[in-house]
Structure 1
Amino acid sequence: MLDPLPGAGGLPRAPWQAATDYLLDCWQRQILFLDVLRQRGNQYRAHLAETAPSVLGFTAEPVMDGRDLPRPVNYTLSRILPPAGMPADRRRRPFVIVDPRAGHGPGIGGFKPDSEVGVALRGGHPCYFIGFLPRPEPGQTVEDVMQAEASFVGHVAGLHPEAEGLPVVIGNCQAGWQVAMGAATRPELFGPILLAGTPLSYWAGWRGMNPMRYAGGMLGGTWLTAWAGDIGHGFFDGAWLVQNFESLNPANTLWTKAFTVYSKVDTEAPRYLGFEKYWGGYVLLNAGEMQQITDDLFVGNRLSNAEMTTRDGRRIDLRNIRGPIIVFCSRGDNITPPPQALGWILDLYGSVDDIRAREQTIVYALHDSIGHLGIFVSGQVARKEHLEFASNIDFIDLLPPGLYEAEILAEDEPGPDGLPYRMRFLARGMDDLRAIVQPRPEDDRRFAAVARLSEVNLGLYRQFAQPWIRAAVTPEAAEWGRRMHPLRLRYESFSDANPAMAAVAPLAAAVRENRRPVPPGNPFLAIETAVSGAMERGLDAWRDARDLLTEGVFLTVYGNPLLQSLLGLGAREAPPRQRPGRDPEQIALVGRRVAEIRASVAEGGLREAMLRGLMYVSLQERVADQRSFDMLRRVHASHGLDLSLAEFKAMLRRELLLLTLDEEAALAALPRMLRGATPAAVEEGLAALTAIALAAGPLSPAGQERLERIGRLIRSAVRAAPPRRRARQGAPS
């Protein structure tokens, strides 16, 4: 409907007037949009001119510099200074946030008040941040970075000896696998680790989606990584990684992001410029670093197979991690889809009993829609998922060994912690993971073929091409090549360094003084929106066709039996890769551990017996939440006696292991454990057990039956004890 002319008795505005208004508004928005691009270019140049550029939105003070370590790295450890009104409680375990060095600069984990850093500070936790400088140290390797981060975490733990646990370490994206590797090689330093959007199983993925995993095969392996390092004179330009990310969603890259700013240029500029400061902050990696990442991780997939080793020959095995592992991923993430975030569990463990035998606790949470960056940038995610993880971190540390899925439920009223949500944990099995990951053995064979072809092509490149390229490229030529990268040019060309932009700033100032935005009901705005939608749909259709073709070519070429035979994969009955969880060594280790645990089935007293009974009920319910944890903390406070919280947690985990290995034998041992208990102490313990079991809500009929069985079993054991012996017995152990 046409807008009425003001003062014209409500008569409709003439079409020519609507067109004139729209054209004026369109012209003004173009000038203002150009000025936003000019500001973006100037911001880019100023950001890169800084010695330690970062988008961290909190004040921080340096604590350690990785350049001072025996093997120098370009990483730093800083302490986040709590804002006024948010004092840190030194008794609370510290949080360490590690940002990804995957093309962009540091700071994204604390980019906004509602962020991982902000959540930790609001919870009263001392907070630390691990960032990095734009250029790596000479000779710096992936292992050097891993060891440096472990040293940082150990230093933080030493600064907080009175804390109730080891540091919580959050690794975002690429930083997540560095954190996991560090925790696997130095498990004594790490508390719970949260891996947010972290790929650990690179061959995994869903058919018809996630085309990024096919890139190695489509490019013939990792020789192109070596070439990029050679033309960079020993440096790999992070802009290449960012370009790969952007190619996944051409509609957003080529149209939507810019159109959103153009269409809302009066209000959208601050948000856009803030994000572009991060997105355009390209950093460098050593060529050797990036080569190992692509060889061992992206194409070789050696981390989830426990095939990577350190310089001194130690295997990097994620099964050695002692603290809880929390995996946060999203179905809407096209860079780290859930199969790549969770597939490593199926690679390393044959069953949940294997996880328990290793005394590991693994928790995963699935978001339905958020994109990759949103996992650790979105304010909405920070206010919900990350806030719940931080609020429940001690509960997660208390969970017995096993595999769990975290669910966040909305509450009608805020709970005791003041939050509108409640997180609960549901016991899961390997079949639950398989339903998410959807592993395909035939695809493993295809990716194994890619890995072997990559070794061949990389060897040929190094033998015949690399010497010539290295001889021809000078440091000056490499720097010129980086400046001419298309992603860098799009920032530089719209900055004040370009003389053609000289008139934009004064013209934009004049437009702001005479701004005449078009009324919302203008019909030409509707046409503009429709055209934009058509552009998005067209680019999305092109992307879908490209991805479908890529997948088809990959599956056909690398599924060819002749090519697989030429690459040494002809024996189809032989597995294309090792499954560590099925190794005889692993099976023997689990067997020895099971025998040790079984031999201790009758150890302990009333305290252990009550915890065993509680775990027996919990096995039926397969769910626990914050209310159960609050009750357990009260039990520890009243019955823990001289036990620390860590010792109490270890006792709880041990009792669950005994039950899962042989439930009937564990229950049959209860009378022997209760020989030193009085009836009054037993009744007090049973009352506490019942309160904890019911804390998360009414039990199922089967759970109620288990609770009643435990009561009958324990009471009958005490009644069967000789009267004179009961009279001599005191308080529970």
Structure 2
Amino acid sequence: MSSQPAAFPFIPTPLTQALDYWTDAWQRGVLFVDVLRERGNVYLEHSRSGKPPVLVFDYEIIVDGRTLERPANYALAAIQAPADCPATDAKKRPFVVIDPRAGHGPGIGGFKMDSEIGIALKQGHPCYFVMFFPQPVPGQTIECVARAEAAFLAKVNALHPEAAGKPFVIGNCQGGWALAMLAAAAPELVGPLLLAGSPLSYWAGERGKNPMRYSGGLMGGTWGASFAGDLGHGSFDGAYLVNNFEQLDPANTYWNKLYRLYESVDTERERFLEFERWWGGHYLLNKAEMEWITQKLFVGNRLTAGEVTTEDGSVRIDLRNIRSPIVVFASWGDNITPPQQALNWIPDLYDSAEDIRVNEQTIVYCLHEQVGHLGIFVSAGVANKEHSEFASALDLIDVLPPGLYEAIIEDTHPETPGLEYVEGRYVIRFEPRDVADILALDDGRNDERAFEVVRRVAEINQGVYDAFVSPWVRAFSNDYSAAFWRHLNPARFERAFFSDLNPAVAAVKPLAESVRAARTQLADDNPLLAAQQQVSDAVVRALDAWRDARDAAQERTFFSIYDAPWLAALTGLKPAAERALRAREKDWDQEERLRLKRAALDAYYEKGSPVVGFLRLLIYVAIGTGVVDERVFNGIRRVMRDVGLEEKMTLAKLKDIIKRQTFLVRQDEERALNGLPSLLPEAHYRRQALDLARELLALPGKISDEKEARLARVADVLGLTAVEPPAPVEAAPAEQPAPAKPTIEAIETAAPADPVKVETVASAEIPTPAAKPAPRKRRVTPKKA
């Protein structure tokens, strides 16, 4: 705010400052109420228009899920690139964004230009958006939604038969678990997955930090969702979910959000109204859908245990069946989906990173330090850093060898090594991790055993409610009573109250217009502004203290009930102290699949083209640390492109070679090393392959001692002299041509007539066991490392 001449020069300065402040405070108060009035009107207009998605991009619906054989209130929209974005390249990998259906309407993934959709469009990718309508189709179930989303992805694949890869699919929050189930049931439809702020391990969390996980137990289980659905005459009001979110941070809900608007009402109006348009757009779910979500996921936690099946029981959802790389993005500042809930499904399924590799699954996780839950989707900083890097590194993520990695994203500077091989502002690398690293993010998992009792109590209470209470509630419920209860919800009522429907509020509009015409700005150094901020800080501290006391009391109550031996005994469970942790038994089919794969690939230790030999050499040297840097990958792709090899060596073929060679190196490192002379038969090309590998490995900076030792071992096996770091080369005389750098093209000249053709053994071609293994045992907490 700029300083203004005193409005009352004849009055002493302290009084002048007080009068200036109270004049400004009154004006801000009027404008504040007027913005709330506008918010109410926006809410009413948004409702009348059918609550369309809050996307800032134009779109065209190409598949309406309501017309499918099993209809659902979902649709697939093709996003149209704005004029300031490059033209969409149909051969680039398509992006598909699935927004959460968790009370609000769709659009948060394309809320503004700096968003998941915006990043994809800026890079020229075709982009699609999975949206949904306010009212569910009668009889719609979660399986109907899953089948609709499968039809959408099939359509995207059909529209892009020549794309560089299968669609990159982003699942935001609740859209993430839906995406994970779809990818497990139909892995052929998807490419890499990004689960952004998505809960998959619903009981996980830290004591004293994640109170939302206790709400189901404190409510006595899932019957409350059924009761709300019965009151809604078969529909569950998404505003109830919004109410729960808002209670997590009462200081923000009841003070901070509104205070920020009041404090800076001249500049905050547009941002406030834009966000509130989405936040106030409440959607409905069918009662059956909400019951499935609460009973199978939130309270039941059955997804990672492999206990979720299709309605007819013919398909069991096993997250280990996902064949595409999985990227998990979570934040320590997220109080709705903390990192433990986003990541603990990994130790639920696997004991170690080796188990992940054996299952040929690639999992990458990235942790933000402070952004909140909504910031994962709407923060411009997150969009321009994390989401942009994931998009730029998609091909690298797709060819990562199976295993568990953490994505490390760092800013670049002019002295960054290999800067010419970095796309964008940041450089990304993938560091290997083990399941123990995931467990170390938690404070232990013994507290999750109490949730077993919650699940059992919830099943009992649900049965009692369904048999004795639900029939009476449904008998007295109808469409009119359901609408009445929905309008009384505070999330709706406050918006309708502060709108032109209220004559007292409508009268503020002309007053606000006169205030804007006579608006004066308060001096920044006015001491009462500092006093105002102090009062605000005190209110926030008081509300935070109340929240902390409430959360602590809820946590103590929860564990005093559900950790009690008497309740475990009543529900048929042993006391927590006697429920010993069990190590997971390896699945028979997993062991048999590994045996068959070893046998099928055994001949490939000494078989392959020089390009395969070069890639094995590179993998052997790099696998010691296991770190995968985008600069090395981009260097390989650039060399391939420069020599015209990229069209023949497609991304799918490159991925197949890298996975196979990584498997061979990990299974028998010595044999893989000793097989290099067979793949690189001539000494001249062995030297070129070794020099090119050194050059690429040096792109991120100085080669580590471990990699130098491995390079020396390769040189010894190939019968070459020990590799030394290249000395500075003086400029050659003008009449002499500079020596050519080693290239893949030179290596390729040693190959047979069709050197790029590599016989592959895809995992689909490996015989699968005929006998169906017994379902694996459920394990509540993993074995400690």
Q: Does 1:443 align with 2:447?
A: yes
The offset of 1:554, in angstroms, is: 1.5
The offset of 1:690, in angstroms, is: 2.3
Residues 66-465 of structure 1: matches in 2 within 5 Å? 66-85=65-84, 86-312=86-312, 313-413=314-414, 415=420, 419-440=424-445, 442-465=446-469
One-letter amino acid matched to 1:340 = Q
Indicate the SS of the match to 1:437.
coil
Alpha-carbon distance between aligned partners in 1 of 2:633 and 2:704, rounded to the nearest angstrom = 19
Match of 2:660 in 1: 654
Alpha-carbon distance between aligned partners in 1 of 2:421 and 2:339, rounded to the nearest angstrom = 32
Alpha-carbon distance between aligned partners in 2 of 1:438 and 1:603, rounded to the nearest angstrom = 48
Change (3 A) 1:282 1:353: same
Indicate the SS of the match to 1:436.
coil
TM-score, scaled to structure 1 = 0.93
The offset of 1:599, in angstroms, is: 6.3
Picking from 664, 672, 675, the partner of 1:666 is 672
Alpha-carbon distance between aligned partners in 2 of 1:13 and 1:155, rounded to the nearest angstrom = 74
The offset of 1:716, in angstroms, is: 6.6
Residues 690-709 of structure 1: matches in 2 within 5 Å? 690-709=694-713
Residues 514-593 of structure 1: matches in 2 within 5 Å? 514-570=518-574, 582-593=586-597
For these two proteins, the number of residue pairs brought into alignment is: 718
The offset of 1:214, in angstroms, is: 0.9
Match of 2:782 in 1: none
Residues 487-506 of structure 1: matches in 2 within 5 Å? 487-506=491-510
Match of 2:489 in 1: 485
Picking from 506, 509, 512, the partner of 2:516 is 512
Match of 1:710 in 2: 714
One-letter amino acid matched to 2:137 = E
Larger mean Cα displacement after TM superposition, 137-146 or 587-596: 587-596
Alpha-carbon distance between aligned partners in 2 of 1:454 and 1:393, rounded to the nearest angstrom = 42
Task: Write out per-residue CA displacement over residues 487-524 of structure 1, whole angstroms, 9 at most, x where no aligned residue.
Answer: 10010000101122131101111111111232222222
Structure 1: gaps (5+ residues): 718-726
Alpha-carbon distance between aligned partners in 2 of 1:509 and 1:120, rounded to the nearest angstrom = 41
Say what the alpha-carbon RMSD is for the aligned residues.
2.4
Indicate the SS of the match to 2:281.
coil
TM-score, scaled to structure 2 = 0.87
Q: Is the 8 A contact 2:359 2:590 kept in 1?
A: no
Alpha-carbon distance between aligned partners in 1 of 2:384 and 2:144, rounded to the nearest angstrom = 34
Q: Is the 8 A contact 1:67 1:74 kept in 2?
A: yes
The offset of 1:380, in angstroms, is: 1.0
Task: Write out per-residue CA displacement over residues 693-732 of structure 1, whole angstroms, 9 at most, x where no aligned residue.
Answer: 2222222111110012112212379xxxxxxxxx998575
The offset of 1:24, in angstroms, is: 1.4
Change (3 A) 1:18 1:641: closer
Indicate the SS of the match to 1:381.
helix
The offset of 1:360, in angstroms, is: 1.5
One-letter amino acid matched to 1:178 = A
Indicate the SS of the match to 2:440.
helix
Alpha-carbon distance between aligned partners in 2 of 1:400 and 1:284, rounded to the nearest angstrom = 42
Change (3 A) 1:44 1:686: same
Q: Is the 8 A contact 2:172 2:197 kept in 1?
A: yes
Alpha-carbon distance between aligned partners in 2 of 1:628 and 1:516, rounded to the nearest angstrom = 58
Q: Is the 8 A contact 2:395 2:651 kept in 1?
A: no
Indicate the SS of the match to 2:405.
strand
The offset of 1:311, in angstroms, is: 2.7
Change (3 A) 1:429 1:368: same
Structure 2: gaps (5+ residues): 722-748, 757-785
Indicate the SS of the match to 1:328.
strand
Alpha-carbon distance between aligned partners in 2 of 1:581 and 1:51, rounded to the nearest angstrom = 52
Task: Write out per-residue CA displacement over residues 578-634 of structure 1, whole angstroms, 9 at most, x where no aligned residue.
Answer: 987744554554455455555654443433232222111111232222211112214
Indicate the SS of the match to 1:465.
helix
Indicate the SS of the match to 2:131.
strand
One-letter amino acid matched to 1:485 = N
Q: Is the 8 A contact 1:229 1:235 kept in 2?
A: yes
Change (3 A) 1:458 1:540: same
Q: Is the 8 A contact 2:637 2:646 kept in 1?
A: no
Q: Is the 8 A contact 1:134 1:283 kept in 2?
A: yes
The offset of 1:174, in angstroms, is: 0.5
Q: Is the 8 A contact 1:445 1:569 kept in 2?
A: no
Q: Is the 8 A contact 1:25 1:518 kept in 2?
A: yes
One-letter amino acid matched to 2:68 = L
Match of 2:744 in 1: none
Identity rate, percent: 49
Change (3 A) 1:546 1:592: farther
Larger mean Cα displacement after TM superposition, 307-316 or 332-341: 307-316
One-letter amino acid matched to 2:66 = R
Indicate the SS of the match to 1:621.
coil
Alpha-carbon distance between aligned partners in 2 of 1:73 and 1:625, rounded to the nearest angstrom = 42
Change (3 A) 1:439 1:139: farther
Q: Is the 8 A contact 2:208 2:555 kept in 1?
A: yes
Alpha-carbon distance between aligned partners in 1 of 2:567 and 2:236, rounded to the nearest angstrom = 31
Residues 569-648 of structure 1: matches in 2 within 5 Å? 569-570=573-574, 582-594=586-598, 596-598=600-602, 600-634=604-638, 636-637=640-641, 638=643, 642-648=648-654
Task: Write out per-residue CA displacement over residues 658-692 of structure 1, whole angstroms, 9 at most, x where no aligned residue.
Answer: 22223223323334445xx3333333332332233
The offset of 1:223, in angstroms, is: 0.6
Q: Is the 8 A contact 1:236 1:287 kept in 2?
A: yes
The offset of 1:403, in angstroms, is: 0.8
Indicate the SS of the match to 1:617.
helix
Larger mean Cα displacement after TM superposition, 370-379 or 658-667: 658-667
The offset of 1:257, in angstroms, is: 0.4
Alpha-carbon distance between aligned partners in 2 of 1:577 and 1:504, rounded to the nearest angstrom = 64
Change (3 A) 1:34 1:607: same
Larger mean Cα displacement after TM superposition, 528-537 or 698-707: 698-707
Q: Is the 8 A contact 1:678 1:729 kept in 2?
A: no
Change (3 A) 1:590 1:207: farther
Alpha-carbon distance between aligned partners in 2 of 1:626 and 1:606, rounded to the nearest angstrom = 23
One-letter amino acid matched to 1:50 = S
Indicate the SS of the match to 1:96.
strand
One-letter amino acid matched to 2:25 = C
Match of 1:470 in 2: 474
The structure whose residues are more often helix, as a share, is 1
Task: Write out per-residue CA displacement over residues 415-467 of structure 1, whole angstroms, 9 at most, x where no aligned residue.
Answer: 55662211111111112111113441x22321111111100000011111011
One-letter amino acid matched to 2:380 = G
Alpha-carbon distance between aligned partners in 2 of 1:529 and 1:415, rounded to the nearest angstrom = 48
The offset of 1:107, in angstroms, is: 0.7
Change (3 A) 1:273 1:52: closer
Alpha-carbon distance between aligned partners in 2 of 1:578 and 1:72, rounded to the nearest angstrom = 43
The offset of 1:88, in angstroms, is: 1.1
The offset of 1:55, in angstroms, is: 0.7
Which runs of at least 4 in structure 1 moved beyond 3 Å after TM superposition? Answer: 3-9, 413-418, 571-603, 634-643, 668-674, 727-733
